[in-house]
C-alpha cells in the first residue's frame, strides 16, 4: 500500500514540476502585450550621459527630430531641439 503511494509520488511529482516550469517559462517568453521579435519604435534614445548622482542628459529621437532632455529624479526638461536627421553631421 505504501509502496504504491511512493511510486505514484515519484512519477507524478517530476511531471507536475516540469509542467509548472514549462508554463512559467512560456509565460515569461510570450508575455501578454509583448511582441515577438524586434519592432519599430516611435521614440528612440540615441545617447544618455550621467550628470551627477541623480541626473542625466539624454538625446531622444522622435519624428525625425532630435531632442536634448535633462532628466532628474522628479522631472524632465527639454533643453534643446534639432531638425538634424540621424546620421548626418553639422561639420562640412
Whole-angstrom Cα distance, residue 36 to residue 46? Answer: 23
Average pLDDT over residues 75-84: 89
Enter the pTM of the model.
0.50
The residue among 81, 38, 77 whose CA lies nearest residue 63 is 81
Residue 90 lies in a domain: no
In a domain, 91, yes or no: no
Letter string b/e over residues 5-34, b meaning 16 or more CB atoms within 10 A of that residue's CB: eeeeeeeeeeeeeeeeeeeeeeeeeeeeee
Domain limits for position 3: 1-37
pLDDT tens for 23-37 read 998 888 777 666 556
Number of domains, the chain: 2
Over residues 58-83, mean pLDDT: 91
Is 21 inside any structural domain?
Answer: yes
C-alpha 9/C-alpha 61 separation (Å) is 58
Kindly report the average pLDDT of the chain as a whole number. 84
What pLDDT score was predicted for residue 92?
42
Same domain, 29 and 55: no
Amino acid at each position: 500500500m505504501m509502496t504504491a503511494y511512493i511510486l505514484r509520488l515519484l512519477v507524478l511529482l517530476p511531471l507536475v514540476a516540469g509542467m509548472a516550469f514549462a508554463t512559467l517559462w512560456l509565460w515569461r517568453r510570450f508575455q501578454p502585450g509583448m511582441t515577438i521579435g524586434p519592432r519599430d519604435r516611435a521614440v528612440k534614445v540615441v545617447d544618455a550621459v550621467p550628470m551627477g548622482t541623480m541626473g542625466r542628459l539624454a538625446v531622444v529621437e522622435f519624428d525625425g527630430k532630435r531632442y536634448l532632455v535633462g532628466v532628474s529624479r522628479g522631472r524632465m526638461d527639454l533643453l534643446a531641439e534639432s531638425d538634424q536627421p540621424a546620421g548626418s553631421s553639422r561639420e562640412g
